[in-house]
Structure 1
Amino acid sequence: MTVIETERLRLRPLTLDDADALYELHQDERVNRFVGSPTRAETLERLDAIEEQWKTRGHGLCAVELKSTGEFIGRSGLKYWEQFGEVETGWTFRAESWGHGYATEAGRAAVAWGFANLDLGYITAMIRPGNTPSVQVAERLGFAPRREDVLFGNPITIYAINRSA
């Protein structure tokens, strides 16, 4: 099993065992404002798809845990989007974990792992208008706006970082 470690965080593949933690993460209105609030059934479907992506593509989304306590604080990692033919990194954290640099730390680790282990020319970050904290994380990581698009009926800006960066 792939495990990515940083100074403070442990990223490991999300599994069906994470259903309660992932569902609870998305129930907080501060968190789900830009990423939605899946039902329990949708959470299980997403986790099943994440496990399948790990099996078939060798990468996927990860649970992010504090190394010091093992506490689940969010999710990050890489997701392949069939409709775009691109791999995206993302970060969603419990509101109580905001402001500690965890999203930047996890995002940096996911991007570094992606470029080290996958044949990718670039990695994207899809961010909805108004999500200023995520834009700031993307910019700290070296991402720049690439294009505008639509995902699940919502406008998004697709940021990207090239392998050479």
Structure 2
Amino acid sequence: MIETERLLLRPLRVEDVDAFVALHADERVNRFVGAYSHQQALDRLTSVEQQWAERGHGLCAVELKSNGEFIGRVGLNYWEIFHEVELGWTLKAETWGHGYATEAARACLDWGFATLDEPYFISLIRPGNTASVRVAERLGLTPLREDELFGIQSRCTRWRSRPHCEAWMSAVLAGQRGFFAHWLVRGLLRVRRRVIMVMSAQFRWASECCGRRS
């Protein structure tokens, strides 16, 4: 679970099907992301659970800390056709304008850099979705090119985050000590594991040599 000042983010589950369908039933929302029937939502949530199990990341439910209300979804979705991980967000229209999308998406982006071995993340935004464009800009993403998703009627602009190293430097310069400390500890643990692996390999080699000599 990821916690921010106002939000709780947890993996989406099949049990969220009714809230998921209701979220996408609003024409203001499904204008850019589409609507779901109950069965389509069940299939989508099943694949979300599978991705969490297989890859360790996926879409999250966004809930208000104040009352536990489900207000949308956000998360990191792997696209096999691109071999890239997309940062996406979809919130109830009634909650727009309060900064929830930026808050949730930034938390996911920081979590992704700190947890996953991905050099960068993308976002796919449909033409005319100016609200999502503003969120992407606040997150420091930059537009790259137009992509075609599921046919010519589904064009979208591919936005890309800064590489991991640049995001780390920005966090340091911005004084985000918690994110920096997490990144530093994770990096040191990686180095420690590699040193142990090298030492273990050298020990095995020395043991084999001694064995052959005796």
Aligned-partner residue type, residue 68 of structure 1: S
From 90, 101, 104, give the equivalent of 1:103: 101
Pairwise CA distance, 1:152:
2.2
The structure in which a higher percent of residues are strand is 1
| Counterpart residue number, 2:18 | 20
Aligned-partner residue type, residue 156 of structure 2: I
Bigger radius of gyration: 2
From 112, 115, 120, give the equivalent of 2:113: 115
Aligned-partner residue type, residue 4 of structure 1: I
Distance 2:143 2:133 in 1: 9
| Counterpart residue number, 1:159 | 159
| Counterpart residue number, 1:147 | 145
Distance 2:89 2:41 in 1: 16
| Counterpart residue number, 1:32 | 30
| Counterpart residue number, 2:46 | 48
Distance 1:152 1:33 in 2: 16
Listed one character per residue, the Cα deviations across residues 72-102 of structure 1 (whole Å, up to 9, x for unaligned) are 0000011000001000011100000000000
Distance 1:92 1:45 in 2: 18
- State the TM-score, normalized to the length of structure 1: 0.97
Aligned-partner residue type, residue 120 of structure 2: Y
Pairwise CA distance, 1:148:
1.2
Aligned-partner residue type, residue 33 of structure 1: R
Return structure 1 stretches of 4+ with deviation > 2 angstroms. Answer: none
Distance 1:7 1:20 in 2: 26
Distance 1:12 1:151 in 2: 27
From 7, 10, 19, give the equivalent of 1:9: 7
Pairwise CA distance, 1:47:
0.1
Pairwise CA distance, 1:52:
0.2
Distance 1:53 1:129 in 2: 28
Distance 1:92 1:39 in 2: 17
Distance 1:9 1:75 in 2: 11
| Counterpart residue number, 2:77 | 79
Pairwise CA distance, 1:127:
0.1
Greater length-normalized contact order (CA 8 Å, ≥ 6 residues apart):
1
The structure in which a higher percent of residues are helix is 2
Gaps of 5+ in 1: none
Listed one character per residue, the Cα deviations across residues 23-77 of structure 1 (whole Å, up to 9, x for unaligned) are 0000000000000002111100000000000000000000000011000000001
- State the TM-score, normalized to the length of structure 2: 0.75
Distance 2:150 2:6 in 1: 33
